[in-house]
């Protein structure tokens, strides 16, 4: 069925067209004007509305590249429904190459925000009222925090109706069932009944090809699943499935010092009792301390800094009933990008 015009922020967008809209944001302190560009792909045919956003944390950049690649695949003449993308939400953070805003607040702890609140709160309020509330679904693209790397994974709260099928359709290798965080976009959208997938892949300030590919494929898999646009590539019809877990734990440094991780520990299947890293004394006086895996699982995240203080989170291990499934899926993705 043919779509109707879509009205957003006072702009009327005809079906089968794409429009870029500039949302004004508070200027930077030298009064240089800041606008947040959003792209609206309004499909020729009726269908769901979905937002896809990147860089809500200003140093998490894989999402910007994922959205760029997704743009290349969208055809508004074939599209059922509407896609709103915001490649860079936290422009202030991107300029400074930091997770935070200029007031050192975390935008993803400031939702749903308020019109007259802090800078973070005002930006959150703008995103909620101008974009999120218009949508039926959302995808929020992240990476590991600065100094950490994550394998491609979704963070999902299954208590929001419709989330499980939506999450599985992304086909990330791992789905981590995790509770809502107060002040996050995901929690604020859930209160409006809008399921949001949080994708985590790679590390801050760098591009990671595996995680960009898995994220791009994931978004296109979702568009396929929602019958918004069909993609016939073999990889969008793969048989590998996401493996779901609600059991994961960060393993912490048992001593301070230089961290020497075992080779290739990220994404690997580790056994209980296996040495994940050795922690050495930088002055070479005291003996080294081994960091041991406390249970069997897959390393889904890892701290990358060379030095640690006792108690620092170093390895994120998740346990799965189907560990082989996770490993096989990661190998499949790896083979795909190595071709």
| Nearer Cβ to Zn ion (218/257) | 218
Q: Is 57 in the site for Zn ion (CB under 5 A)?
A: yes
Q: Which is nearer to Zn ion, 94 or 293 (CB)?
A: 94
Q: Which two tokens stand for residue 237?
A: 């019809």
* Minimal distance, residue 211 CB to Zn ion, in Å: 13
**What angle do the packed helices 209-225 and 62-73 form, to 10 degrees?**
40
Residue owning tokens 């994974």:
153
Pick the closer one to Zn ion by CB: 57 or 171.
57
Nearest distance from C-beta of residue 48 to Zn ion, angstroms: 25
Nearest to 330 by CA among 268, 281, 276: 268
Distance, CA of 105 to chain centre:
19
Give the number of residues in contact with Zn ion, rule: CB under 5 A: 3
Give 61 or 210: the residue with its C-beta nearer to Zn ion. 61
Dihedral in degrees, nearest 10, Cα atoms 86, 91, 93, 94: 80
Query: What residues from 136 to 175 belong to the interface with Zn ion (CB under 5 A)?
Result: 142
The smaller minimum CB distance to Zn ion, of residues 42 and 186, is found at 186
CB of 134 to Zn ion, least distance (A): 23
Provide, rounded to whole angstroms, the least separation between the CB of residue 60 and Zn ion: 5
DSSP string across 179-191: PPPTT-HHHHHHH
Alpha-carbon distances, residue 307 vs 145, 240, 279, 314, 315 (angstroms): 16, 37, 9, 10, 14
Residue 143, both tokens: 């990476």
Rounded Cα distance, 177 and 157, in Å: 6
CB nearer to Zn ion: give 93 or 113: 93
What is the smallest separation between the CB atom of 62 and Zn ion, expressed in angstroms? 10
Piece of the chain touching Zn ion by CB under 5 A; list 51-59, 230-238, 270-278, 283-291: 51-59
Site residues for Zn ion per CB under 5 A: 57, 60, 142
């Amino acid at each position: 069925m043919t779509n109707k015009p879509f009205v957003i922020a006072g702009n009327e967008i005809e079906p089968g067209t794409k429009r870029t809209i500039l949302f004004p944001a508070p200027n930077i302190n030298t009064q240089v004007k800041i606008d947040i560009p959003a792209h609206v792909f309004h499909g020729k045919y009726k269908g769901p509305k979905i937002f896809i956003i990147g860089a809500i944390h200003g140093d998490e950049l894989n999402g910007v590249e994922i959205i760029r690649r997704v743009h290349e695949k969208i055809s508004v003449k074939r599209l059922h429904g509407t896609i709103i993308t915001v490649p860079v939400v936290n422009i202030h953070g991107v300029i400074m190459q930091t997770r935070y805003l200029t007031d050192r607040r975390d935008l993803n702890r400031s939702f749903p925000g308020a019109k007259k609140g802090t800078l973070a709160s005002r930006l959150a309020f703008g995103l909620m009222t101008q974009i999120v509330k218009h949508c039926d679904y959302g995808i929020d693209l992240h990476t590991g925090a600065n100094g950490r790397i994550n394998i491609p994974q979704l963070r999902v709260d299954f208590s929001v109706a419709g989330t499980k099928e939506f999450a599985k359709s992304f086909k990330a290798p791992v789905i981590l069932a995790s509770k809502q965080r107060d002040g996050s976009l995901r929690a604020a959208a859930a209160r409006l009944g809008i399921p949001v997938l949080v994708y985590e892949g790679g590390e801050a300030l760098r591009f990671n090809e595996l995680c960009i590919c898995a994220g791009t494929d994931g978004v296109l898999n979702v568009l396929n699943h929602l019958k918004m646009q069909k993609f016939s590539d073999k990889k969008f019809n793969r048989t590998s499935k996401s493996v779901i877990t609600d059991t994961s734990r960060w393993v912490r440094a048992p001593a301070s010092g230089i961290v020497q991780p075992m080779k290739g520990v990220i994404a690997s299947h580790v056994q209980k009792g296996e040495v994940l890293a050795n922690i050495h004394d930088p002055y070479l006086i005291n003996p080294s301390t081994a960091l041991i895996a406390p249970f069997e699982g897959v390393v889904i995240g890892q701290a990358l800094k060379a030095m640690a203080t006792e108690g620092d989170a170093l390895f994120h291990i998740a346990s799965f009933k189907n560990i082989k499934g996770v490993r096989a899926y990661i190998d499949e993705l790896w083979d795909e990008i190595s071709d």
